[in-house]
Amino acid sequence: MLKAQRGHLLLMVSTQQDQPPAVDGSERALRRCYPRPPRQGVVGKRGFCCCNITAMDTRPEARLLSMVSELCEPLHRAFEYGTERSVECRRLAGLSDRVYDWLGTHQARALAHQQLLDVQLGGWKLVGKHSRNGELWLAHGLGLTTLRMLHASSTEDVPAPGPNWARRAYYCNDSLLGMGVAHQPALFEGSKLLGLWRVTDWEAFRVGIRIVRPVGTWRYCARARTDLDVMLPRLVDDFGDLEWRPNDFGMELDIPAGEDLEEGEEGGVAD
């Protein structure tokens, strides 16, 4: 698995996954379903050397991270703005009790969506129907690579997709590891990602964002099947210092730990 850490915080989320939105005629690509997801046994293969990621790096996993790096600062700013404003609104309305935490989650996501409408996202753009329960989707380029932002309610597990066929199809990326070089670019371009956000410091309204690439389905409480797990840095410049290190489980991606993220209380629904 490709794994990245900033400090020691890992974000996880439980969610209800809907069918990905079609973008620029790519509905067929987004709805591809793999009845037999690739086994994760190839993940432990030591196939890469330790090196720094640069803008000219052509490896699929490096290209994927280069693509995701465009969202570092916009996503953090948008969700931190949304979190702070939602807390203020709930306080003014007398809805600060934990029983109303679900409202804060939805408000924060709506405000983040509003902020992202007015900023440059590189090759990314907002897609999907935000009016459908406030879901927040982004797509890159022609829309083959998609990212759904979900609220994280756990720091320990990646949620299982459940029985819904659309959720299971979204989770079934072909693994980038263990595949031939000729096939990797095509797999990379069609990645279906999960972006997991969670408030890590309620006093400073700091948010942590984690990007996960699932490579199959699994049952509830079982080990998640992913080949990319990266804690998104707050600043895009931090991506220049990322380093690949092989380990017994696959590939680990180290991010130099700057200011440690503090885990705080959070609640609400994971969506």
pLDDT tens string 48-105: 223 333 344 556 566 777 788 899 999 999 999 999 999 999 999 999 888 898 899 9
Residue 43 and residue 248: Cα distance in Å, rounded? 9
Which pLDDT belongs to residue 59?
Answer: 60
Q: What is the mean pLDDT of the chain?
A: 71
Of the ranges 6-15, 39-48, 156-165, 249-258, the best mean pLDDT one: 156-165
| Range of 12-16, 199-203, 240-244 with top mean pLDDT | 199-203
Average pLDDT for 159-178: 84
Q: What is the pLDDT of residue 235?
A: 83
Name the DSSP class of 179: S
Q: Is the pLDDT of residue 176 over 80?
A: no
- Whether the predicted pLDDT of 239 surpasses 50: yes
With bands split at pLDDT 50, 70 and 90, how would you rate the model's confidence at 241? low
- Across the strands, what pairs with 195? 149, 211
Q: Do 256 and 238 meet the contact criterion of CB atoms below 8 Å apart?
A: yes
Separation of alpha carbons 212 and 257, rounded Å: 19
Classify the C-alpha dihedral 243-126-116-141 as positive or negative: positive
What pLDDT, in 10s, does the model give residues 163-172?
989 889 998 9
pLDDT at residue 81 in the model: 97
Choice among 99-103, 140-144, 254-258 with the minimum mean pLDDT = 254-258
pTM (whole model) above 0.75: no
Average pLDDT over residues 159-187: 74
The alpha carbon torsion through 56, 57, 59, 60 (nearest 10 deg) reads -60
Of 114, 220, 212, 126, give the one whose Cα is nearest residue 171: 212
Residue, of 258 and 228, whose pLDDT is higher: 228
2 has a pLDDT exceeding 80: no
The pLDDT tens digits for 9-23 are 333 333 344 555 554
Give the helix, strand, coil percentages of the chain, each rounded to 5.
Answer: 30, 25, 50
Q: Which residue has the higher pLDDT, 180 or 195?
A: 195
